[in-house]
């Protein structure tokens, strides 16, 4: 039977959160791609459940008026939104006591608060989204196992698809990893340690040349592709093919996890709690949906497998290293819910704790590892998510950082595959995300150590333990990091931190990350490189208050935000704004130059104008045409002009210029990447607009000869007034 050959632009290997986020981007942008997974449908590998603010912002950004990121809102209601975090530890008498309370999400950091929802729901939203955006064309293909990968590194011009991946269809029996423990209660005890699972897969993937012919008699396919994204988890096959090691360590702390409805007289059971007991270890309490509560419990007595006792590879992060050596790996088959509960009961004393409605449990040893490289073969093959960083789950970061990896990569792949941007932009994936992963591992390392350690008892003789004040401090610092909203990308093709507006380095005391924030003095509250913090503005056409983030949808487009200031009392500002029209009409200026000639003018770069006048003081037709352009049917697009200032009837008073530190008279121009990160800040002037042109010229590809093959407009007319998709 001959091997099948096929072509696609991108092959995503692994359909967990990282792979699904990548797939969502690609389907949103209309890129041909496939996504495969070796597991059969019925298996949920993960039970991650924390959604950080930034992940929620990203989900929201995929919403459209006609599509709400599947049932995001529905599930948002179902999710448990944690409000408060309580710290409990022994008082001077060694008695457990509520030590302090803080907001679980730092107020003001985002319009969302972090929440808890079952990973299965999140994966379902993604599947629905991919189905919607691809018009039902793309389904996850499973169980499909990759067995070899070859890259034609020389990449002649003729070889548009230089990567070859051979895949084989598994039977549903082969695609189920072995599971320990009770069959009645779901648990996570199958997804573990390098080498001790995936036996049948391993044998396949290490097949030697000689076996190849035999294999070809199976259901084999060779996929020729432009790019491969490996999102295949902690034991990543793709990473192994790239010959990239994980660097980091295994610790000696062993944790159990229980999801159940507790019966207790502990008063904070519906709050997030970190409880340090005097002698019995620690527990993290995470209240969930449907009155379930998740407990992360430090286990004292678990049998180890001495054969697995090894030195760790040296941790490579930038924190002090405990250099712990393990006593060997835990014997996972010995972990039972009763064992975990028993330990929890000791920690909770003198409060009572009983269990009902047990729905899931697992056990693990904390380890922190990160890959030194996120791509190889001249940016033809990437790894993302757990494939390049693993750590403890207590910071609630794993799924979030994984999704954010491919949220970073996806739009870059889309722009390159469309022929809109140069492949060089793909290098920014590793430079931007490797730093995030390292920061994450360092944070997790620090937090785990403090959380797992014995507490110091104030005013007692037990003074060599973990200082609770230090723990709170690290937690609070980490909380900002953990929100995902302060990720700061450095200078690159896509981020220009310097400009002629005069930059300020603001080492904000409130910001506990190590980097200096770079602000342009024209927008003193907008750190360049971070995602644009969302505030509300008012639609000029209909007075509707709207979060600017909701005008910055994840649809693949760059945005140029024009802030002309107060145009009523500064007529020269209005004059400048009108003079922009001539530039924008030029075929060699960025707007026309980088947009296929027969696509909607805002298909690639969307220009939004936000003035600093009360909406009632100006009229829409005072403004130049590009603020309310007509389409081929002469229909007007009313959704490009906003007021940043004024009272609203139902939502209070807005002042966007103040929120962003923009001078209300002079204005500013911002360039925003498709992932909402601030790329460049320039003055509101002809010269400033020319700097925007320069920005795009560095990495975009001229479309002045590109006539799209189909009818002038490739959209269903009924969808016209929805955000247009990235031009096909």
DSSP tag of 136: T
Residues in 125-164 that interact with a copy of itself by CB under 8 A: none
Residues in the chain: 728
Residues in 292-321 that interact with a copy of itself by CB under 8 A: none
Q: Are 701 and 594 in contact (CB under 8 A)?
A: yes
78 interacts with a copy of itself by CB under 8 A: yes
Q: What are the C-alpha distances in Å from 707 to residues 9, 221, 278, 510?
A: 21, 34, 72, 50
Using alpha carbons only, give the angle 698, 702, 707 rounded to the nearest 5 degrees: 160
Sign of CA dihedral 526, 529, 535, 541: positive
Q: How far is the CB of 537 from a copy of itself (least distance, A)?
A: 13
Residues 83-122: x where in contact with a copy of itself by CB under 8 A, - otherwise, as a string: xx----------------x-xxx-x-----x---------
Strand ranges across the sheet with 80-81: 50-51, 115-116, 80-81
Q: How far is the CB of 394 from a copy of itself (least distance, A)?
A: 19
Closest CA to 167 of 190, 139, 144: 144
Find all residues with CB under 8 Å of 555, minimum gap 6, and list them.
Answer: 28, 29, 674, 723, 724, 725, 726
Q: Report which secondary-structure segment, H or E, holds 109.
A: none
Question: Would you list the DSSP string of 401-418?
Answer: HHHHHHHHHHHHHHHHHT
Peptide bond into 350 cis (omega under 30): yes
Q: How far is the CB of 292 from a copy of itself (least distance, A)?
A: 9
Closest CA to 76 of 118, 136, 108, 14: 118
Look up 296 and say whether it is catalytic: yes
Residue from 6, 150, 290, 473 that binds a copy of itself (CB under 8 A)?
290
Q: How far is the CB of 655 from a copy of itself (least distance, A)?
A: 18
Q: How far is the CB of 113 from a copy of itself (least distance, A)?
A: 6
543 interacts with a copy of itself by CB under 8 A: yes
Q: How far is the CB of 533 from a copy of itself (least distance, A)?
A: 15
Which tokens go with 14?
């692994």
Residue from 32, 44, 81, 378 that binds a copy of itself (CB under 8 A)?
81
Span interacting with a copy of itself, options 152-160, 589-597, 648-656, 702-710, rule CB under 8 A? 648-656
Residues in 188-227 that interact with a copy of itself by CB under 8 A: none
Catalytic pick among 54, 191, 288, 531: 288
Look up 393 and say whether it is catalytic: yes
Residue from 139, 202, 313, 544 that binds a copy of itself (CB under 8 A)?
544
74 interacts with a copy of itself by CB under 8 A: yes
675 interacts with a copy of itself by CB under 8 A: no
* Rounded CA separation 374/602 (Å): 33
Q: What does the buried/exposed string (b/e) look like for 282-294 if buried means 16 or more CB atoms within 10 Å of the residue's CB?
A: bbbbbbbbeebbb
638 interacts with a copy of itself by CB under 8 A: yes
Q: Between 4 and 73, name the residue whose CB sits nearer to a copy of itself.
A: 73
Residue from 289, 321, 506, 512 that binds a copy of itself (CB under 8 A)?
289
Residue from 4, 6, 73, 581 that binds a copy of itself (CB under 8 A)?
73
Residue from 61, 121, 236, 271 that binds a copy of itself (CB under 8 A)?
271
Residue from 9, 37, 49, 68 that binds a copy of itself (CB under 8 A)?
68
Span interacting with a copy of itself, options 72-80, 129-137, 185-193, 664-672, rule CB under 8 A? 72-80
Q: Between 116 and 442, name the residue whose CB sits nearer to a copy of itself.
A: 116
Residues in 347-366 that interact with a copy of itself by CB under 8 A: 354, 356-357
DSSP tag of 187: B
Q: Are 695 and 673 in contact (CB under 8 A)?
A: no
Give the ranges where 134-236 is alpha helix by DSSP (H): 199-205, 212-216
Q: Compute how many residues bind a copy of itself; rule: CB under 8 A.
A: 56
CA atoms within 13 A on the CB side of 125: 24
Question: φ, ψ for residue 69 (rounded to 5)?
Answer: 45, 60
632 interacts with a copy of itself by CB under 8 A: no
Q: Between 214 and 619, name the residue whose CB sits nearer to a copy of itself.
A: 619
Question: φ, ψ for residue 693 (rounded to 5)?
Answer: -60, -45
Question: Would you list the DSSP string of 432-448?
Answer: HHHHHHHHHHHHHHHHH
Residues in 502-541 that interact with a copy of itself by CB under 8 A: 539, 541
Look up 712 and say whether it is catalytic: no
Which tokens go with 180?
């320990």
* Rounded CA separation 262/547 (Å): 39
Q: Between 157 and 633, name the residue whose CB sits nearer to a copy of itself.
A: 633
Give catalytic residues, as residue numbers: 49, 288, 296, 393
Residues that bind a copy of itself (CB under 8 A): 63, 65-66, 68, 71, 73-74, 77-78, 81-84, 101, 103-105, 107, 113, 261, 263, 265, 267, 269-271, 287, 289-291, 354, 356-357, 539, 541-545, 616, 619-621, 633-636, 638, 648-650, 717-718, 720-722
């Amino acid at each position: 039977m001959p091997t099948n050959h096929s072509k696609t632009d991108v092959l995503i290997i692994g359909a967990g959160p990282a792979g699904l986020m990548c797939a969502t981007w690609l389907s949103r942008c209309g890129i041909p791609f496939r996504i495969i997974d070796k597991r059969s449908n019925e298996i949920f590998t993960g039970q991650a459940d924390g959604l950080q603010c930034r992940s929620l912002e990203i989900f929201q950004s995929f919403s459209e008026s006609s599509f709400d990121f599947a049932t995001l809102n529905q599930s948002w209601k179902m999710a448990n939104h944690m409000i408060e975090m309580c710290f409990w530890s022994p008082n001077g008498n060694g008695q457990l006591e509520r030590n302090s309370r803080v907001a679980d999400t730092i107020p003001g950091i985002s319009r969302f608060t972090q929440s808890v929802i079952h990973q299965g729901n999140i994966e379902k939203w993604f599947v629905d989204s991919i189905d919607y955006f691809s018009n039902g064309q793309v389904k996850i293909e499973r169980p499909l196992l990759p067995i070899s990968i070859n890259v034609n590194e020389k990449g002649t011009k003729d070889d548009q698809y230089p990567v070859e991946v051979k895949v084989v269809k598994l039977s549903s029996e082969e695609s189920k990893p072995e599971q320990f423990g009770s069959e009645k209660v779901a648990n996570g005890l199958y997804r573990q340690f390098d080498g001790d699972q995936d036996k049948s897969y391993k044998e396949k993937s290490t097949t030697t040349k000689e076996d190849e012919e035999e294999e070809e008699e199976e259901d084999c396919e060779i996929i020729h592709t432009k790019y491969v994204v490996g999102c295949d988890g902690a034991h990543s096959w793709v990473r192994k093919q790239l010959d990239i090691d994980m660097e980091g360590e295994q610790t000696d702390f062993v944790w159990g996890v229980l999801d159940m409805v507790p019966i207790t007289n502990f008063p904070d059971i519906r709050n997030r709690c970190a409880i340090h007991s005097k002698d019995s270890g620690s527990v993290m309490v995470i209240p969930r949906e449907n009155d379930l509560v998740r407990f992360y419990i430090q286990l004292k007595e678990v049998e180890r497998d001495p054969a697995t006792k090894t030195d760790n590879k040296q941790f490579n992060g930038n924190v002090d290293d405990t250099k712990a050596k393990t006593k060997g790996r835990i014997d996972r088959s010995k972990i039972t819910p009763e064992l975990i509960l028993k330990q929890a009961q000791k920690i909770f004393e003198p409060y009572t704790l009983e269990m009902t409605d047990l729905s899931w449990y697992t056990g693990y040893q904390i380890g922190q590892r990160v890959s030194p490289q996120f791509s190889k073969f001249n940016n033809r093959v990437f790894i993302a998510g757990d494939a390049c960083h693993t750590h403890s789950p207590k910071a609630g970061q794993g799924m979030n950082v994984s999704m954010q990896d491919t949220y970073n990569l996806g739009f870059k792949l889309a722009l390159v595959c469309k022929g809109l941007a140069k492949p060089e932009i793909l290098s920014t994936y590793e430079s931007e995300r490797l730093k995030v992963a390292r920061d994450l591992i360092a944070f997790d390392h620090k937090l785990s150590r403090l959380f797992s350690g014995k507490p110091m008892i104030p005013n007692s003789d037990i003074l060599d333990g973990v200082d609770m004040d230090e723990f709170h401090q690290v937690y609070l610092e980490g909380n900002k990091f953990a929100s995902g909203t302060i990720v700061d990308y450095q200078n690159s093709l896509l981020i220009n931190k310097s400009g002629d507006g005069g930059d300020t380095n603001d080492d904000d005391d409130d910001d506990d990350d190590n980097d200096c924030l770079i602000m342009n003095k024209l927008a003193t509250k907008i750190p360049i490189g971070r995602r644009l913090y969302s505030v509300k503005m008012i639609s000029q056409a209909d007075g509707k208050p709207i979060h600017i983030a909701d005008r910055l949808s994840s649809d693949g487009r760059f945005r140029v935000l024009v802030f002309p200031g107060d145009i009523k009392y500064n007529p020269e500002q209005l004059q400048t704004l009108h003079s922009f029209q001539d530039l924008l009409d030029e075929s060699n200026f960025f707007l026309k130059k980088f947009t296929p000639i027969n696509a909607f003018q805002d298909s690639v770069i969307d220009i939004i104008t936000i003035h600093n006048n009360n909406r009632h003081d100006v009229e829409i037709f005072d403004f130049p045409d590009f603020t309310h352009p007509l389409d081929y049917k002469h229909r007007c697009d009313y959704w490009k002009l906003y007021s940043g200032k004024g009272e609203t009837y139902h939502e209070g008073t807005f002042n966007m210029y103040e929120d962003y530190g923009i001078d209300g008279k002079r204005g500013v121009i911002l360039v925003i990447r498709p992932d909402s990160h601030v790329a460049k800040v320039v003055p509101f002037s002809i010269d400033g607009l020319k700097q925007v042109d320069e920005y795009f010229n560095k990495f975009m590809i001229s479309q002045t000869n590109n006539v799209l093959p189909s009818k002038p407009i490739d959209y269903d007319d009924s969808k016209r007034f929805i955000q247009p998709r990235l031009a096909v």
